[in-house]
Amino acid sequence: MLSRTVGASGLKVSRMGLGTLTWGGQTDVQDARTMLLRFVEAGGSLIDTAPAYASGLAEKIIGRAIHLDLNRDDLVIATKAGFTVEGPDRIVDTSRSAMLRDLEGSLRRLRTDHVDLWQVHAWGDAPLEETCEALDHAVRSGMARYVGVSNFVGWQSATAATWQRAEHSRMPIVSNQVEYSLLARRAEIEVVPAARHHRMGVLAWSALGRGVLAGRYRTGTPRDSRGANDKLSWFVEPYLTTKSRAVAEAVAKAADGLGITPAQVALSWVRDAPQVASALVGPRTPAQLTELLAADEHELPDEITAALDDITGGPNLLR
C-alpha cells in the first residue's frame, strides 16, 4: 500500500487508515485481531483509535496484538484525548490534566511508550493555550511523536495551528481528522482550505459515508448493519435520506461501469481528494476489509471523479 506524508511533517502514513470505532463492540476481538494483521500484511500502517472507543477496549485489542503478533514499528498509531462517553453522556474535557490522563491511559492499554499521532478529539471549553500546552508536553516527554486535532471546524483548526506556530518551541499541528465523504463534503468549505494554508494533512474519517455508500442500505436497513443497531443507529440515520440514497445509486452505477464495488469507488474518491493524507475506514468484518484493501489497486478516471463531484455538490475547487 502506498504511503503519504501528513501535511508538511515528516510523519508517513498509509493512504488508507484502519479505524477501530466498533472494536470490542460490533466487532469482536478475534475479528479485530484478524483485520489488524491482514491490514499490516497488506502494507497498511495507520491505525486510528481513541479511549472512547468501547471504553478503551479498542486500544487494548491493539496493545495485545503488539505484544503477541506485531512489530510496534510497523504501526503508525493515532489516538485521541479529551472526549469520553459515560452512559448516555458525551463529555468533552480538554484541560491539561484530562488530556494527559487520557494519554497515560492510552499508553497503558496500547502497551507502548509512545503514540505516533496524538489528537485533541474535539474542541472544548478549556483555554486553547492549556490544551496546546498538553500537546507540547506529550511530544517533549516522548509520549507522542506528532500532534493533531480532530473534528475541528475551519476557524478552530486555524486558530490552533496559528497558536502553535507563534513560537518555534511549540509543536506544530500536523493534521485535522474530520468526516469527509461523498455524503459529507462540507469540509471543503473551510476545513480543507485551512489545512492547506497551515500545511496540515486531512485524515478523512467515515470515507464510506458511515457505511451508506457501500450500497447495503439501497433497499432498506439490513438487520446486521449499524443502522439497525440500538447503539449506532443514530450514527447512520442522518444519511438514510432520499438524497443520500440517490448519491449511493450514482456510486453504484459508477462501480458497475468500472467493474469494482461501490465501497471501492467511494473510498477512492476520498483517498485521492486534495489535502487528504489518509482515508479512514471502519470495516466490521475481515471480508469488508478485504474488499477495501483491493481499492489500493484502483484510481478513478477523471471523468468519473468529476461526475461524482457534480452529483454531490459541484466541483472541488482545490483539485
CATH number at residue 77: 3.20.20.100
Grid coordinates belonging to 200: 496540515
Q: Is the pLDDT of residue 75 over 90?
A: yes
The answer to whether residue 94 sits within a structural domain is: yes
The answer to whether residue 250 sits within a structural domain is: no
* Cα distance between residue 62 and residue 66, in whole Å: 6
The answer to whether residue 265 sits within a structural domain is: no
Helices (H), 125-228: 128-140, 154-165, 191-197
The answer to whether residue 132 sits within a structural domain is: yes
Average pLDDT, integer, range 254-268: 97
Q: Is the pLDDT of residue 217 over 90?
A: no
Confidence of residue 222 (pLDDT cuts 50, 70, 90): confident
What confidence tens digit (pLDDT) does each residue in 134-153 have?
999 999 999 999 999 999 99
Q: Is the pLDDT of residue 171 over 90?
A: yes
Q: Mean pLDDT of all residues in the chain?
A: 95
Look at residue 224 in the predicted model and tell me its pLDDT.
Answer: 67
Helix axes 57-68, 96-110, angle to 10 degrees: 40
Grid coordinates belonging to 104: 497515560
The answer to whether residue 33 sits within a structural domain is: yes
Q: Using an 8 Å Cβ cutoff, are 181 and 268 in contact? A: no
Q: Is the pLDDT of residue 230 over 80?
A: no
The answer to whether residue 159 sits within a structural domain is: yes
* Cα distance between residue 15 and residue 302, in whole Å: 19
The answer to whether residue 43 sits within a structural domain is: yes
Higher pLDDT, 304 or 86: 304
Cα 163 from chain centroid (whole Å): 24
What confidence tens digit (pLDDT) does each residue in 178-191 have?
999 999 999 999 99
Q: How many domains, in total, are found in the chain?
A: 1
Residues with catalytic annotation?
Answer: 53
Domain that holds residue 143: 3-209+276-299
What confidence tens digit (pLDDT) does each residue in 2-47 have?
999 999 999 999 999 999 999 999 999 999 999 999 999 999 999 9
pTM as predicted: 0.95
The answer to whether residue 105 sits within a structural domain is: yes
3-state DSSP assignment of residue 40:
helix
